[in-house]
Amino acid sequence: MQKLLPFALLITIVIAIELITGWTDTRYYLTQMTMSAYYALLIIGLCVVMGYAGQISIGHAGFFAIGGYLSAALTTRNLVAYKDSAVIRTLDGLGLIVAGEDIYGDALMAVSPWAACILAVVTAGLIALILGIPVLKLKGHYLAMATLGFGIIIYRIVLASEYFGEADGISEVPPFELMPGLAVSGDFGARVSNYYIAWGLLIAGLLLLRNLIDSRVGRALRSIHGSEEAAESVGVDTARFKLKVFVLSAVFAALAGVFLTHYNGGIGPSEASVMKSVRYVAIVAVGGMAHLWGALTMGVGLNFLSLRGVFGSYDDAVFGVILIVIMLFAPNGILSLNWRDYLRRLIDRPKGSESVDGGKP
């Protein structure tokens, strides 16, 4: 029961935020809170990789972009020219193709949003599996550089590919139809419902990861983080566990990319940039690499401030400074600091701490 108390508190806070913004007639804040929740979904997945498996990834923006771009492309590209192909006929037979006409009366045919979501997430998972098999054999900064290279490749592909809209990205992405009259989109009337959808997905992901961490798999991951050699000596298949958690985090990132893309109605190449990956790593570091609740709190808070434009044109610089400061003074996250002892040392500083000549040391 005690493990469910934090989730109950989180759900209460989510509902309270919606009620307060409704009372104060500031529901437009819900848009930023909704987007922050989707970004936080990626961050808690990355937290498990970094904090529990001990693997540094600077390429998770690439998985976010894979999910968003693939889903956007599948739901916006006209597939009429391929209607006689076996793949399209199969998808159409399964009811996964949406057909219609444009304003000129020409036939339109595209993959339905839910089918595109599944295909995009599965593709991201497969790419993570293929990438992880050789890359996760590396350690430390070698692994970080390899994942950074992957992120750069994805960024250059979406930026240079005409299929993905080049620098303009993909727009007019249709929303998810959850039920008649309820769509995941960014219009004003749907903000409240989308707010609950985003936070419901985030809470479900958090619950899944908490159960994973408290299970036998979580204990194996913590042993890997402590010492891979020691973990292997007691029979832990370190390569298999690292690969599985890497793929899981990629699925979280792709799922966040899909939902945010359909919520915003589009996606651009900035979502795949290296600075996005650095931002995610910085947020995980601030919250605590082995602290899901810290990563969740910082993920929502810092992303909300960024989306509100608080940092202005220095947005990327702020996250870079945050990462440097945390690595220097609080490598385990700000929640690891014992602020009470720190303040007590400042207050109870010995009076004889001055040097003999009267100057301060």
Query: HEC string of the chain?
Result: CHHHHHHHHHHHHHHHHHHHHHHCCCCCHHHHHHHHHHHHHHHHHHHHHHHHCCCCCCCHHHHHHHHHHHHHHHHHCCCHHHCCCHHHHHHHHCCCEEEEECCCCCEEEEECHHHHHHHHHHHHHHHHHHHHHHHCCCCHHHHHHHHHHHHHHHHHHHHHCCCCCHHHCEECCCCEEEECCEEECCCHHHHHHHHHHHHHHHHHHHHHHHHHHCCHHHHHHHHHHHCHHHHHHCCCCHHHHHHHHHHHHHHHHHHHHHHHHHHHCEECHHHHCHHHHHHHHHHHHHHCCCCHHHHHHHHHHHHHHHHCCCCHHHHHHHHHHHHHHHHHHCCCCHHHCCHHHHHHHHHCCCHHHCCCCCCCC
User: Residue 246: its pLDDT value, please?
Assistant: 93
CATH fold label, 16-349? ABC transporter involved in vitamin B12 uptake, BtuC (1.10.3470)
Mean pLDDT, the chain, whole residue set: 80
Report residue 291 as tokens: 């602290």
Residue pointed to by tokens 């930023």: 32
Contact between residue 36 and residue 303 where contact means Cβ atoms under 8 Å apart: yes
Confidence of residue 339 (pLDDT cuts 50, 70, 90): low
Give the other-Cβ count within 10 Å of 265's Cβ. 16
Q: Are 47 and 292 in contact (CB under 8 A)?
A: yes
Tokens 């080049």 sit at which residue? 166
Taking only the tens place, the pLDDT of each residue in 344-360 is 655 665 554 444 444 44
Amino acid at 47: C
Residue in the structure block whose two tokens are 């990629």: 250
Closest residue by Cα to residue 7 from 143, 209, 235? 209
Q: Encoding tokens for residue 266?
A: 């589009």
Residue range 145-185, pLDDT digits in tens: 999 999 999 999 999 988 888 888 998 888 876 654 455 55
C-alpha triplet 45, 299, 326: angle, nearest 5°: 100
How confident is the model over 14-30, as pLDDT tens digits? 555 555 555 444 566 77
Tell whether the model's pLDDT for residue 310 goes beyond 50.
Answer: yes
Give the C-alpha separation, 325 to 282, whole Å. Answer: 10
252-299 confidence digits (pLDDT tens): 999 999 999 998 889 999 999 988 998 999 888 888 777 888 888 888
Q: Which tokens belong to 268?
A: 């651009």
Q: What is the pLDDT averaged over residues 303-329? A: 82
The more confidently predicted of residues 139 and 251 is 251
What is the percent of the chain where pLDDT is above 90? 27
pLDDT at 119: 92
Q: Is residue 1 pLDDT above 60, yes or no? A: no
Structure confidence at residue 355 (pLDDT):
45
pLDDT at 148: 92
pLDDT tens digit sequence for 191-231: 667 778 888 899 999 999 988 888 888 888 888 877 778 88
